[in-house]
Structures are given as structure tokens and as C-alpha cells.
Structure 1
Amino acid sequence: MLKINFFPIMAVLLFGLSVGHASAATADDLNRDAIQSLNTLYQHNPVAKKMAQESRAILVFPKVIKAGLVFGGSYGEGVLLRNSKPVDYYNTVSASWGLQAGAQSYGYVVFLMNDKAVKYLQESKGWEVGVGPTIVVVNEGLAKNLSSSTLKEDAYAFIFDQQGLMGSLSIEGTKISIIHR
């Protein structure tokens, strides 16, 4: 019978994620990367650009690193933009377990469509995706059917710039918390 000790695997994974945290980007880096990521998203997805015009604020995570082997996790840092100006900085963290193996990086943008969603993000001690305001993850099929008259949810998320290989990708089980710069 093959026995696998998962402690060393988790230690390496958590060390890798903490190294990313220790070498956190500066506010200027995050601001620059967020604007660049938004522009790239707008070029590839015109619906996202229309959503930006309708939104109250935009939360941009330019790069999230995800890795796992049975147990996994992800970490990234981002910026909240209001009227195209940085307001606050946040991190996104998730943990998972199950049938998974691999590593990848990706970015995601959350368009906060109403004041309720913005207030919840700013006043909560961490927004657990799936708790609080509703977030709809937009894929290509849904994007084709969205218009200003059908935007009824609190927040819409776009995942972009996926690189690497991982069995699944979602933002469920993710906690978004403010970080101070």
C-alpha cells in the first residue's frame, strides 16, 4: 500500500504562496498592472468595457497564482478603482482540496454594479465569495447576452489571462480582504 505524506507537499505549497506575499507588489506596481489588465480585458471583451461604464467601482486582481496537489491554494493582490482612480488595495486568498493537480496564474476583475456591493466590500472584514452580494462569473456565452438592461446582479467577475495547467478554475471559496499600503 502506497502511503503519501501530504505535509511536505502542503509546506512547499504554502511556502510558495507566502513567498509571493512577502515580495508583495508596491502600490504603484498594482496600479499600473491593474490599468494594463483592464485595457487588455477591454480589448478582448467589449462587454467588459460597457460594464465598466455602468459600474460603481472595479476590483482588479492582475495576477493570481494557484497551485495544488490534492490540497491547493491561491493568492493575489489587487486594487479597487473608483472613477479610474485607486481607492484601496485588497488580496484574494483561497484554499481547496480534492482531485486536483497543477499550477497556473490568472487575473480577474470584479465589476461592482451598485452602492450596496461597494459598501459591503469596504465595510466587511473580508468578502467571502458566495456570502454577501451576488457575484456572477461571466463566460463568453453569458457575455454575449449581457446589456445595460440585463445587468441586475450586484457584481460580475471576468477571469482572464490564464496560463499554466490546472484541473479547474473558479473564484468560489475565495476571500477578499483589504490590505494596507
Structure 2
Amino acid sequence: MKNFRDMCILSFTLFLTVTTNAQEKVDQEVMADAEKAKVILQTDNDKLDGYFENSTGYAIFPNVGEGGLIIGGASGNGVVYENGEVVGMADLKKVDVGLQAGGQAITQVIFFETEEALNEFKQGELELSAEAKAVALHEGASIDANYDDGVIVFAKPKKGLMADVSVGGQKFDYTSIDNL
């Protein structure tokens, strides 16, 4: 029995090591994509510089996929920054129902005006309702947007086409960089 127990411990340790290394690689890829997305967002619209510089924090989801036909959904992984420094990873989930058809990929960035808004996000208490629509970013377009309850969302279409008049909301999960 001792050999079986030792084999189980060794197998479990190996499994954890492989899983942890794979997750670290995924997180590193998301972080690299988030940094590229930030550069593209700022290059396309220099008015975002003020949000990046003056917000308490922000979350960049470089590759959000969404699609639907009456019932739709979206998901993506992102990086959370506080005072310009990476503090964690996040994932976004969205389910909605309504008049919608198609699919698209977007980059989404959420800015947190206050520490309270950022902490709500980190604690999993922030849900964006259907009323909290993202400000669509197009190259060279003017931005005239204000924070709503300490949060503002910008979305930049990457590819695809989707018509959407639906009701739903976004939910987020946050993992501190210390827990990765």
C-alpha cells in the first residue's frame, strides 16, 4: 500500500505541476495580448490616454468572443491593472436573450474611476446590466463618455458582424496575481 500511496502523491504532484505550468502560459499569453490591445486602443484613439492615466484601475479583455441567434453569449479572459500595475486576471461571461444574430470578436476595456468600484470588481460584486452598454470605439472617433457608478466600458470590434438588441448582463470573476 505504501507504494500505491507514494505513486498517487507523485501523480497528483505531477498533475498539479503540469496544470499550473499550462495556466501560467495561458495567463502570460493573455497579458501579452492585453498589452498589445492597450497600444492599439491608445493609437486608435488618444482620448483613452486620460482614462488609462487617471483611473484607479482598469481591466483589459483583449479577445472577447460573442455570438448568438436569439439566445447569445460572450466570454473572454483579461488582465486587471491597479495604478498601472498588473494585480490579477479576470474572466468575463455574458448571457442574453433578444433580437440578435451573428458573431464577433471585440476588445473590451473597463475603467474604474474609484477604488470602491475596482474593489467591487475584485470581489465579484460588479455585474454590468443590459443598460450599461459599452461605448463603441472606432478608429479616430470622438469619445464623449462619462463614468456611471465609477465604471465606464469601451469596446472595439475586431472582426465579425453582429446585430444585437438583447437583454442580459456581464458577470466577472477575478483572481489576484498572488493566487496564480
2:153 — aligned with what? 157
2:105 — aligned with what? 105
Asked whether 1:129 is paired with 2:125, we answer no
Q: How does 1:89-100 map to 2 (within 5 A)?
A: 89-100=89-100
2:120 — aligned with what? 120
1:138 — aligned with what? 135
Q: Which runs of 5+ in 1 are unaligned?
A: 1-22
Asked whether 1:60 is paired with 2:60, we answer yes
- 8 Å Cα contact 2:104-2:157 kept in structure 1: no
Once residues 166 and 109 of structure 2 are traced to their aligned partners in structure 1, the CA distance between those partners, rounded to angstroms, is 13
Structure 1 residue 28: Cα displacement: 0.8
Once residues 102 and 137 of structure 2 are traced to their aligned partners in structure 1, the CA distance between those partners, rounded to angstroms, is 24
TM-score by length of 1: 0.72
Higher alpha-carbon deviation: 49-58 or 165-174: 165-174
1:78 — aligned with what? 78
The residue type equivalent to 1:88 in the other structure is G
Once residues 108 and 99 of structure 1 are traced to their aligned partners in structure 2, the CA distance between those partners, rounded to angstroms, is 22
Aligned length: 153
The residue type equivalent to 1:66 in the other structure is E
Structure 1 residue 63: Cα displacement: 0.5
Structure 1 residue 169: Cα displacement: 7.7
The residue type equivalent to 1:113 in the other structure is E
Q: Deviations over 1:94-137 (max 9, x none)?
A: 1112222211111100111111111111123x521139xx9673
Query: What is the aligned-residue RMSD (CA, Å)?
Result: 3.1
Structure 1 residue 52: Cα displacement: 0.8
1:6 — aligned with what? none
Alpha-carbon spacing, 1:50–1:135, altered in 2? closer, same or farther (3 Å): farther
Alpha-carbon spacing, 1:79–1:104, altered in 2? closer, same or farther (3 Å): same
Identical counterparts, % of pairs: 23
* Partner SS for 2:164: coil
Structure 1 residue 87: Cα displacement: 0.8
